[in-house]
Amino acid sequence: MKDSIIIVSGGMDSVTLLYEMRERIALGISFDYGSNHNKREIAFAKLHCERLGIKHIVIDLDFMGKYFKSSLLEGAEAIPEGHYEAENMKSTVVPFRNGIMLSIAAGIAESNGLKYVLIANHGGDHAIYPDCRADFIKAMSDATRLGTYPGIEVMAPYTDITKTDIARRGKALGINYAETWSCYKGGEKHCGKCGTCVERKEALRDAGIDDPTIYEGWHQYY
């Protein structure tokens, strides 16, 4: 039964969730909020939704690029390099991004007679992204349930698992992760050095997947 909307960025996590839950998903939503890598991600979100026969729409959130403060919105040179555990990675937070996206998705779900909004936040996000943590997701689900007539709920099945766990699920599903985008710099190739590139490489390595990603400057990874 098609009862769900998914927020699908085009990255590893949301694409994996898209395939896992495809039987329930009526609509995929991507948000263009002006980040360096948005366009590259959204192209893959569209590709996978079309492949699965799932309607896909893009919502423009250009006001975030105009009024919000984040290195993600300031061009590739502003993106810090290193591991997510490093303090400087906090600069990549886009304030309340998931709260805004979930609110819009809940309204679209109610307007389309759907009951659930799916989001692919995971355990590795918790260190620096407050709107990816379990308490936040629960609070948002409570808010959407109480603030809509059908009681829209947020489903975030990856909240307490790692990106490596997600990659293992993707491997079992036969997902080609070359058809996903992670790099925050949004160049022609993955930079291989920003926090999300480092996390991507570690997850694929630890899941036993030969990394198909083309990185700047080299072709053998981890």
Which residues contribute to the annotated binding site for Zn(2+)? 183, 191, 194, 197
Backbone angles phi, psi at 62, to 5 degrees: -65, -20
* Percent of residues in the chain assigned helix, strand, coil, to nearest 5: 45, 15, 40
Q: Which residues are documented as binding site? A: 8-18, 183, 191, 194, 197
- Rounded (10°) angle between helices 163-173 and 12-20: 50
Q: What is the Cα–Cα distance from 149 to 102, expressed in whole angstroms? A: 16
Question: What's the burial of 99, exposed, middle or buried (CB within 10 Å: 0-12/13-18/19+)?
Answer: middle
213 phi-psi bin (left φ>0, alpha ψ -120 to 50, beta other) = beta
Binding-site annotation: residue ranges for ATP: 8-18
Provide CB contacts within 8 A for 161, sequence distance 6+. 122, 123
Q: Residue 138 — φ and ψ, nearest 5°? A: -60, -45
With contact defined as beta carbons under 8 Å apart, do 28 and 56 qualify? yes
Q: How is residue 85 written in tokens?
A: 């555990």
Tokens representing residue 170 in the block: 């993707």
